[in-house]
Amino acid sequence: MVITRTIQTEKIEKQGEPNLLGIKSCKTYRKALQTLIGQYYKKGNTELEFHTRGLLELYNKFHPEKSIEVEIKKWKGKSTFEIIDKIDKIIVIKYQKPSKEEEPKRTETEITKEEINKLIYVIKNLSKYKKEIKTSEIAMYFSYEMNLNHKSWRDFFSDRYWHNKLNIMFNVLKELNLINYSGGISVWLDNKLSFQENLNSFTTIK
């Protein structure tokens, strides 16, 4: 007796178009990965977000972005900064000329995603009750949410570390078009994109 086995095979007549996941408009592979990271972050898909961040870091290792020389002759005491996105934090690199005659100095500030998202939460909550929000109001609410134990605005103002850091965080949100920030007053903008999506589309050097 001879037993034969029939194996069913499936023949693909025509391969369908690949699903580009909403990244058709991206000009580079790096930008496509950054866009996907933003999409996964918004959906709360942490596993795919971290996996794609790993691919981005690997790509950056073999294809690093070229450095851009910062023009300093026209600064006249003004500053510029660069935002670097990490998995759980951002790094703000700031170049500032203390005066017209001095060379620009480089400072680096680490801001956790928890800190920046808590600040966004505070400003959005306060914006429900008033359009223009004073820095002192935001600072005290932020201090409470972060358990920093500042007893008053004067107490927060004299805390050099947190006062300076909060100002840098305001400027980050301003650069990402999430707030208008001027003269100690913040106004929340009706921006439909999340912080991470705005960060992904940000041009690092201004």
Question: Tell me: the pLDDT tens digits for 86-116?
Answer: 888 888 888 776 666 777 778 889 999 999 9
pLDDT of residue 204: 43
Helical axes 135-145 vs 160-175, angle rounded to 10° = 110
pLDDT band at 25 (very low <50, low <70, confident <90, very high): low
Distance between CA atoms of 197 and 81, rounded to whole angstroms? Answer: 19
Helices (H) and strands (E) in the chain, counts: 7, 6
Q: Is 93 left (phi over 0), alpha (psi -120 to 50) or beta?
A: beta
Helical axes 113-126 vs 135-145, angle rounded to 10° = 130
Average pLDDT over residues 128-139: 93
Lowest mean pLDDT among 11-20, 42-51, 95-104: 11-20
Helical axes 160-175 vs 113-126, angle rounded to 10° = 70
pTM, to two decimals: 0.59
Q: Which residue has the tokens 């995603």?
A: 113
Distance between CA atoms of 186 and 116, rounded to whole angstroms? Answer: 15
SS3 of residue 126 by DSSP: helix
pLDDT of residue 206: 37
